[in-house]
Amino acid sequence: MSTAFFHHDDFEKHDMGAGHPESPERLRAIIAHLADLGLNETLDWVRPEEATRDQLRLVHPESYLHQLDMMAPTQGRVFTDPDTAMTPHTLRAARLAAGANVEAVDMVLSGQATNAFVAARPPGHHAERTRSMGFCFYNNIAIAARHALGFHGLQRIAIVDFDVHQGNGTVDAVQGDERILMCSSFQHPFYPHSHAGAVAENIVNVPISAGTTAADYREQVEQRWLTALNDFQPQLVLISAGFDAHQSDPLAELSLTADDYRWLTSLLLRVAAEHAGNRLVATLEGGYDLEALAECAGAHIEQLSRVR
């Protein structure tokens, strides 16, 4: 088996305007770097389908889905918050992103792939049940988790979010659900300025101060996450893979490098190997310095591809 790599050309049609950090160039940079690493031919490339309405409703109520449909423009852009814009292509891209996460879970749980990386945009972890924000419209990782629970009948799923911004939307979607353990690390205090406290027993937050060294970051994450993950014994590991804690990222103030993301990936692969039969799905969230994003995503995917 191999690593499934989910991508669709229509992900790049969602464009929030010149100078917006969440740009189509992000995916182009990652794919070009994978080619430079010689990884393209080792990955199983998958072109996803859109998530169904029922799959979106695993997290988002119909009233919210209808609201987005009504806001979608036929030309130009409309903003759902000061940072988040919709174009005529946005909701198709967002449905494809959610659908890619669902299909990745299906492939990994059915044994068609060892693990998977979803190179999708728009990202998802800031999308709350009834609110789009932070470049996000549908909460891709929460939809994937609920699909694994409901359709595949799993009982314990871990979501690990190492984006530099707290995944407030994922917390909003899964807090209090004892079938899901969410572990996250994020710069604090920082956007989105919510969900950073002890909001529920199934949420393990690791707030990181600006300027924290990579060594201190590793120590805090390992101490807070590993005991919780090993006690929980997840049957599937889902990762919100944001690479914006890199020292070069323009939207944050942490100091990680590609080696730290390689270490994070190895740490989570060990958890998946011990408890989940190697079953792991990662989906792209943040990362806004194109060179750093490509290097970090490449290190992450390279680690995934070594698992057999």
147 close to 35: Cβ distance less than 8 angstroms: no
Q: What dihedral angle (degrees, nearest 10) is formed by the CA atoms of 276, 246, 26, 291?
A: -120
Residue type, 13: K
- Cα–Cα distances (Å) from 21 to 24, 25, 228, 287, in that order, read 9, 9, 34, 9
284 close to 100: Cβ distance less than 8 angstroms: no
Catalytic residue among 126, 147, 275, 300: 126
The mean pLDDT of 31-43, rounded to a whole number, is 96
Q: Is the peptide bond before 192 cis (omega within 30 degrees of 0)?
A: yes
Q: Please report which confidence band the pLDDT of residue 122 belongs to, taking 50, 70 and 90 as the band edges.
A: very high
**Which residues partner with 117 through β-bridges?**
5, 282
**Residue 51 DSSP symbol:** P
Going by C-beta distance under 8 Å and a sequence separation of 6 or more, which residues neighbour residue 211?
253, 254, 255
Instruction: Mark out the alpha helices in 233-308 (DSSP H runs).
Output: 258-275, 290-305
pTM greater than the 0.95 cutoff: yes
297 close to 30: Cβ distance less than 8 angstroms: yes
pLDDT given at position 126: 98
Q: How far apart are CA 164 and CA 152, in angstroms?
A: 31
**Residue 52 DSSP symbol:** P
Q: Which of 198, 300, 196 is nearest to 239 (CA)?
A: 300
pLDDT digits 0-9 by tens, 215-272: 999 999 999 999 999 999 999 999 999 999 999 999 999 999 999 999 999 999 999 9
| 60 catalytic residue (yes or no) | no
pLDDT given at position 192: 95
The mean pLDDT of 180-209, rounded to a whole number, is 92
Which two three-digit tokens encode residue 74? Answer: 């036929």
Q: Please report which confidence band the pLDDT of residue 308 belongs to, taking 50, 70 and 90 as the band edges.
A: confident
The answer to whether residue 187 scores a pLDDT higher than 90 is yes
Domain edges within the chain: 3-305
Report the chain's mean pLDDT, rounded to a whole number.
Answer: 97
Phi and psi for 19 in degrees, rounded to 5?
85, -10
**CA 38 remoteness from chain centre:** 24
The percent of residues above 90 in pLDDT, for the chain, comes to: 96
The answer to whether residue 198 scores a pLDDT higher than 70 is no
pLDDT digits 0-9 by tens, 140-154: 999 999 999 999 999
Q: Please report which confidence band the pLDDT of residue 196 belongs to, taking 50, 70 and 90 as the band edges.
A: confident
The answer to whether residue 21 scores a pLDDT higher than 80 is yes
Q: How far apart are CA 14 and CA 6, in angstroms?
A: 17
The mean pLDDT of 116-125, rounded to a whole number, is 98
Going by C-beta distance under 8 Å and a sequence separation of 6 or more, which residues neighbour residue 74?
88
Superfamily of 3-305 according to CATH: Histone deacetylase domain (3.40.800.20)
Q: How far apart are CA 220 and CA 303, in angstroms?
A: 22
127 close to 84: Cβ distance less than 8 angstroms: no
pLDDT digits 0-9 by tens, 74-105: 999 999 999 999 999 999 999 999 999 999 99
Q: Which of 257, 22, 8, 30 is nearest to 126 (CA)?
A: 22
- What length is written for the chain? 308
The answer to whether residue 300 scores a pLDDT higher than 90 is yes
Phi and psi for 203 in degrees, rounded to 5?
-115, 125
